[in-house]
């Protein structure tokens, strides 16, 4: 069986939804489909939830459209969300399917209104409430795509993944329980597939042990797709998005970024980890465990071969350049060598306690300076993190000086064979030096899949362009001449898998 995942842009309106349905139908059955919320809806849901928790002052409430401002400011945003979904439903080309979908959407919107009203009444927004509220977007998409498929003559059913993807109760960033997920997928999804239905599941969401809805983190629908693929032993997971594959750089930063036809699991993981938004950072892990090929494809050009991700790395050289923004660089100077172990335990302990993600860490050769690059965009930046570490050092009775630089970006050149070469880091530093990009720290990862450099955020874009120009080799003429057809690629996938 095949899992197909569609992102928000690919489900943004009725026409995109019909295009997605056509792509689904062209794949061999059995197939499960994972959907994101329609583009922009998750952000609107978040806005509605925050507005409900802290309504604007009375003078700014109310709108010219006459939308009731109660509860809080959330109601007018909820109305916008409803309008988006109803506009999509209006494009379902079958009256019975259309009215069936509208009835289900009514229930989802009523539940959303109730949840927002409860938040407004409580005057506070728990992470549990927030997850229940934001899940509405994916739930609506699943209803809409299943109805669109049935309207085009394909038997289909939708399923909310809070009953399938089992997670812990870390709301907002839930961790899946693969064993329970497998049991639930076998019990709920497999029978539907066996009865000949195309099953449309919500991405992004899971269910905590007590049954509450959780979410896997922003962009998490990619992760849902591979979790489900692993649970159902899929032959392939296809990530259908708005770019024709993994590109050699973010197309919004680099005009001549081009498709990378084949990357290894390791390379894809590094790319996602270091900022290639096209894949959620956790997406690859479930596929690795079962050797499932993952393909990244464009809903705007479905005949293009896209990018294939498998265990092997295809080709040599740097394949892509990425940048991870919004980081801060901590430099911890420890004058007494014997304090170093305690200082490092205090730093890592304090960051872990605050759930601040460590992106990279290193220790100088004199062993008296540690540098730690952390993702603290949502944690108050240096103003919060520096005193936090100061307190941790005091508690550990360690004398240390903590420096903090922000905003910092980590640029990475990713490619298995390239990063393994001894002079690769020197080349990267040379390119950055010629482009006048100051380097705060640099490393050749022990995994030898990525070369990285931390640079001041203001220089990130220039750094990415310079590295792309210098390190991504021109495409060989043979690869440019003829594109493999998708049927040949599927045969290749089956051999690999």
SS3 141: helix
Q: What is the CA radius of gyration of the chain?
A: 24
Interface with ligand ASP includes 241 (CB under 6 A)? no
Interface with ligand ASP includes 206 (CB under 6 A)? no
CB of 248 to ligand ASP, least distance (A): 23
Interface with ligand ADP includes 9 (CB under 6 A)? yes
CB of 259 to ligand ADP, least distance (A): 8
Interface with ligand ADP includes 241 (CB under 6 A)? yes
Which window, 4-12, 93-101, 248-256, 320-328, contacts Mg ion (CB under 5 A)?
4-12
Question: 263: which 2 tokens?
Answer: 């990357």
Q: Which is nearest to 295 in space by CA: 280, 310, 284, 307?
A: 307
Contacts (CB under 6 A) with ligand ADP, residues 46-75: none
Here's the x/- map for ligand ASP, 36-65, by CB under 6 A: it reads as xx----x-----------------------
Contacts (CB under 6 A) with ligand ASP, residues 6-25: 7-8
**DSSP per residue over 59-74, as a string?**
GG---TT-----STTH
SS3 474: coil
Which window, 34-42, 82-90, 357-365, 435-443, contacts ligand ASP (CB under 6 A)?
34-42
CB of 282 to ligand ASP, least distance (A): 11
Which window, 35-43, 170-178, 244-252, 417-425, contacts ligand ASP (CB under 6 A)?
35-43
Which of the listed partners (ligand ADP, ligand ASP, Mg ion, none) does 203 bind, with a CB threshold of 5 to 8 Å by partner kind?
ligand ASP
Contacts (CB under 6 A) with ligand ADP, residues 259-298: 276-278
For 286, the enclosing helix (H) or strand (E) is helix 284-290
Which window, 4-12, 104-112, 171-179, 363-371, contacts ligand ADP (CB under 6 A)?
4-12
Question: 107: which 2 tokens?
Answer: 């229930």
Interface with ligand ADP includes 251 (CB under 6 A)? yes
Cα distance between residue 50 and residue 120, in whole Å? 9
- Distance between first and last Cα of the chain: 12
Interface with ligand ADP includes 246 (CB under 6 A)? yes
Which of the listed partners (Mg ion, ligand ADP, ligand ASP, none) does 251 bind, with a CB threshold of 5 to 8 Å by partner kind?
ligand ADP
Residue 254 phi, psi dihedral angles, 5° rounding: -125, 115
Q: Name the H helices within 365-485.
A: 381-395, 416-420, 424-434, 460-471, 477-481
- The torsion region of residue 236 among left (phi > 0), alpha (psi -120 to 50) and beta comes to beta
Q: Measure the CA angle with vertex 242, ends 240 and 245; round to 5°.
A: 65
Cα distance between residue 408 and residue 419, in whole Å? 22
Cα distance between residue 19 and residue 299, in whole Å? 7
Interface with ligand ADP includes 480 (CB under 6 A)? no
7 CB-side CA count, 13 A:
21
The only residue of 204, 240, 265, 274 in contact with ligand ASP, by rule CB under 6 A: 204
List of residues contacting ligand ADP (CB under 6 A): 7-10, 36, 219, 241-243, 246-247, 249-252, 276-278, 320
List of residues contacting ligand ASP (CB under 6 A): 7-8, 36-37, 42, 137, 203-204, 218-221
């Amino acid at each position: 069986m095949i899992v197909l995942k569609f992102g928000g842009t690919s489900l943004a309106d009725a026409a995109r939804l019909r295009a997605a349905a056509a792509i689904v139908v062209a794949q061999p059955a059995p197939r499960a489909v994972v959907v994101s919320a329609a583009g922009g809806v998750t952000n609107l849901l978040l806005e509605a939830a925050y507005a409900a928790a802290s309504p604007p002052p009375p003078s700014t409430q109310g709108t010219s459209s006459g939308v009731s401002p109660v509860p809080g400011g959330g109601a007018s945003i909820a109305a916008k969300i409803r309008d988006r979904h109803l506009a999509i439903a209006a494009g379902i080309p079958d009256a019975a399917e259309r009215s069936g979908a509208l009835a289900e959407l009514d229930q989802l919107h009523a539940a959303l209104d109730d949840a927002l009203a409860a938040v407004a009444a409580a005057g506070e927004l728990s992470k549990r409430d927030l997850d229940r509220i934001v899940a509405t977007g994916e739930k609506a998409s699943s209803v809409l795509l299943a109805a669109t498929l049935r309207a085009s003559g394909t038997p289909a059913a939708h399923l909310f993944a809070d009953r399938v993807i089992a997670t812990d109760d870390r709301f907002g960033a839930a961790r899946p329980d693969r064993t329970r997920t497998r049991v639930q997928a076998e019990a709920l999804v497999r029978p539907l597939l066996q009865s000949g239905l195309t099953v449309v599941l919500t991405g992004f969401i899971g269910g905590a042990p007590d049954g509450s809805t959780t979410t896997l983190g922003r962009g998490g629908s990619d992760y849902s797709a591979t979790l489900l693929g692993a649970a159902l032993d899929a032959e392939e997971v296809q990530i259908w998005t708005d770019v024709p594959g993994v590109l050699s750089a973010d197309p919004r930063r680099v005009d001549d970024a081009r498709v990378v036809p084949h990357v290894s699991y390791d390379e894809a993981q590094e790319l996602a980890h270091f900022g290639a938004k096209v894949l959620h950072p956790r997406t690859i892990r479930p596929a690795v465990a079962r050797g499932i090929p993952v393909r990244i494809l464009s809903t705007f050009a479905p005949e293009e071969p896209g990018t294939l991700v498998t265990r092997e790395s295809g080709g040599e050289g740097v394949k892509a350049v990425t940048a991870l923004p919004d980081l801060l660089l901590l430099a911890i100077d420890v004058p007494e060598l014997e304090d170093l172990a305690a200082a490092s335990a205090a730093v890592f302990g304090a960051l872990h306690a605050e759930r601040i993600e460590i992106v990279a860490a290193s220790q100088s050769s004199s062993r008296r300076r540690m540098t730690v690059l952390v993702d603290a965009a949502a944690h108050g930046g240096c103003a919060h993190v520096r005193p936090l570490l100061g307190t941790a050092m005091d508690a550990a009775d360690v004398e240390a000086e903590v420096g903090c630089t922000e905003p910092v970006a980590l640029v990475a050149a990713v490619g298995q064979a390239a990063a393994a070469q001894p002079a690769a880091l020197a080349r990267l530093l040379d390119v950055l030096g010629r482009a006048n990009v100051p380097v705060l720290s640099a490393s050749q990862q022990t995994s030898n899949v990525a070369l990285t450099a931390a640079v001041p955020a203001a220089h990130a874009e220039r750094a990415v362009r310079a590295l792309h120009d210098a390190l991504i080799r021109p495409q060989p003429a043979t690869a440019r001449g003829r594109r493999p057809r998708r049927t040949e690629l599927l045969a290749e996938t089956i051999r690999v898998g």
